[in-house]
Amino acid sequence: MIDFMLGAIAMASFAAGLVFARFYRRTRDRLFAYFAAAFWIDAFSRVFEVGLRVSEIGTDIVYAARIVSFALIVVAIVDKNRR
């Protein structure tokens, strides 16, 4: 059941990344590019977690990817509001 939920979250994250990539292509606003990258990193970290069933050492990589994903969102918001 956990694998199914992680797969669904990965699919939703990837789809959200596609939506933001489409918005970026239309507007050329960097906010959308950052959001697309963040959601794709999140999707691939979830796939990595399920696909490899990483050991205790490997979970650090998964959580590091999620931190990078959330940091990208924060950077996008700060960059958008700074201008």
Q: Which tens digit of pLDDT belongs to each residue from 25-74?
A: 999 999 999 999 999 999 999 888 887 776 566 677 888 999 999 999 99
Q: How far apart are CA 41 and CA 55, in angstroms?
A: 20
At 50, give phi and psi (nearest 5°).
-75, -45
Would you say 27 and 65 are in contact if contact means Cβ atoms under 8 Å apart?
no
Q: Which helix (H) or strand (E) holds 24?
A: helix 2-27
Would you say 79 and 31 are in contact if contact means Cβ atoms under 8 Å apart?
yes
Q: How far apart are CA 65 and CA 68, in angstroms?
A: 5
pTM for this predicted structure: 0.86
In the chain, where the domains are located: 2-82
